[in-house]
Amino acid sequence: MRKPLRTDNAEVDPAREVGADGVRPRPAWRRRAVIVGAVVAYALLAAGCRPLTRPALGAVLVAGIPLCWLGVRRRPRRAPSAGARSAAVWLSLLGLVAAFELGLWLGPDDPAHPTLSTLADPVLSTYPGRVLGYVAWVGSGAWLVSR
């Protein structure tokens, strides 16, 4: 019995395909692992800088400016419109957070009325807390760039 001729490329592994420039593209999982590794390595280094210092500002800018540049310049993926209802719901939540935070910021400046950043300070004053903070921040930036 003869095997049917294959007329499609459904079983071709995209990772094995060779591009026009002769270079094989990296598989998605490997690219993802490289990004995760880079984010964690950056966070471990950057968390060595204590907040309110110039090294900390440099650590934020050294990752923040390139990611912003990439994210703004990159051609966006096609995504369906969110719709008026979604926009209303999410903008209402954003407005609620902003109003709550602004009320605290304009209110009494004492430990009894902490803003969100004041509440985060005890966590971010420790090295493990800063590692988590940098992972969350740079990870979210990398995710935004990929959209």
Partner 1 sequence: MTPRAAIVAGFAAILALAVAVDLVARRAGSGVRPLSAALAAVLRSRGGRVAVFGAWLWLGWHFLAR
Please give the residue ranges that form the binding site for partner 1 (CB under 8 A).
46, 51-52, 56-57, 59-60, 63-65, 67-68, 71-72, 76-83, 85-87, 89-90, 93, 96-97, 100, 104, 111-114, 116-117, 119-120, 124, 130, 133-134, 137-138, 140-141, 144, 147
Residue 35 or 133: the one with the smaller Cβ distance to partner 1 is 133
Residue 40 or 71: the one with the smaller Cβ distance to partner 1 is 71
d(CA 40, CA 43): 5
Backbone angles phi, psi at 126, to 5 degrees: -105, 150
Give residue 110's identity as a one-letter amino acid code: D
Instruction: Give min distance, CB of 125 to partner 1, in A.
Output: 11
Of 92, 131, 97, give the one whose Cα is nearest residue 117: 97
Residue 9 or 92: the one with the smaller Cβ distance to partner 1 is 92
Chain mean position to CA 8:
37
Residue 27 or 90: the one with the smaller Cβ distance to partner 1 is 90
Instruction: Give min distance, CB of 78 to partner 1, in A.
Output: 8
Instruction: Give min distance, CB of 101 to partner 1, in A.
Output: 9
Residue 36 or 88: the one with the smaller Cβ distance to partner 1 is 88
Instruction: Give min distance, CB of 33 to partner 1, in A.
Output: 21
Instruction: Give min distance, CB of 93 to partner 1, in A.
Output: 6
Indicate the SS3 state at residue 147. Answer: coil
Token output for 84: 């008026």
CA–CA distance from 65 to each of 11, 58, 90, 93, 118 (Å)?
A: 41, 10, 27, 28, 25
Token output for 132: 């988590």
